[in-house]
Amino acid sequence: MDRVALRRVSAAGVPGGAQRFRDREAEEAAARIVSDVESRGEAAVREWASRLGELSEGEELVLGRGRLEAALASLGREERGLLERARGRIAAFAEAQRAALRDTEIAVPGGRAGHRFIPVSRAGCYVPGGRFPLPSSALMTACAAKAAGVASVWCAGPRPAPITLAAAALAGAEGFVAAGGAQGIAALAFGAGCPPCEVVVGPGGRHAAAAKRLLFGLVGTEAPAGPSELLVVADEGADPALAAADLLAQAEHDPSALPALAAPSEAFAAAVEEALARGLERLPPRNAEAARAALAGGWILVYASLEEAAAAADRFAPEHLELLLAEPESFAARARNAGAVFLGAGAAEVMGDYGAGPNHCLPTGGAARFAAGLSVLSFLRARTWLELEEPAQLAREAEALARLEGLEAHALAAAARLG
């Protein structure tokens, strides 16, 4: 059995967002692809997808609704049932979020003002699939869009498996562009092979995340969703084997995943490392290879107090924060920066991955300091409005304030309402 040894960090050495957010190499590569897709459209998407091994000669780039429905119809009863139940939980949570958002109206001098939540017309949902098929991501993204009221949803991702196409069909997608990375994101944004989307969301690797950052402003997007992260905070009452199992589940995602542990003692940390070594032996070779690479980039903090651990968690601002603690709610109240929090030993991060209800598309790279995960809000605009039947009072105020700022045309426009 190979030994697993994660590097130790001090509380001050826990990496913050600024240390892991930027990826200049990925951004340069993504910029070339995005520019090419903007110039040449679908032909560029097909060329890059072929060059990067996502598309074989003669293979379809754009899969319409009929292909998605055929994939759904081909599923066995058990597989279809799994997808349908997950879709039901995800959609129910998203619909509850939408129901909590209310249009608002208040009185203002001479009239009334308010806001109204309006969905975008078309959303693009990126579905990773380079290493493993991820039908759960198709459900998470497209179900949230449909619950928000988006009329048209398209997906994109590399080498979509039939199970992924089936999930996209269940979630209400109109079609699927079989291209990943920067070319898949650009296809959704510019309308290369599909109609142009106003919002492009979804988890992905470094090139997909870089493309979304480059395209923000042309399209809307959620907080950065790059390589996945998990911080497990455990106390002495926690089970080291359980902590190791959850860290391994995160590590097998991708060699770039970031598994981390805040441990109460060096003895606990060593016990987790022993359990990681045992767990690696149980994984298929491909999964174990990715997990070993991810663990090599992970770390352990042996904390002096839970206060120190909470401060370190806030600094790290992980995508997933799992609390194997006797009092997880108390810790969660102190550690404010996380994409999603999993309270107690029963709430494994993997439950969130597979459709407990809350969305698994979450901010990475420290973006949880200022952003939340994907939700119906990602597809909605709170558009404000103003109606004044008796504008005189506000017109006088506006006229005076405009002259304070030296904007005479503004003042004259306000004064024109005085009669």
Which residue is catalytic, options 273, 319, 322, 399? 319
- Sequence-distant (6+) residues with CB within 8 A of 311 are 11
Residue reference for tokens 């017109």: 395
Q: Is 319 a catalytic residue?
A: yes
Strand 320-324 versus strand 299-302 pairing type: unpaired
Rounded Cα distance between 148 and 170, Å, is 16
Distances (CA, A) of 394 to 65, 79, 135, 408: 52, 61, 54, 16
First to last CA, the chain: 87
Which residue is catalytic, options 320, 322, 360, 399? 320
Sheet containing 111-119: order of strands = 104-108, 111-119, 380-388
Cβ proximity of 200 and 126 under 8 Å = yes
Cβ proximity of 261 and 6 under 8 Å = yes
Q: Is 47 a catalytic residue?
A: no
Cβ proximity of 313 and 338 under 8 Å = yes
Instruction: Please give the DSSP secondary-structure letter assigned to residue 17.
Output: G
- Sequence-distant (6+) residues with CB within 8 A of 46 are 55, 61, 179
Q: Hey, which residues are catalytic here?
A: 319-320
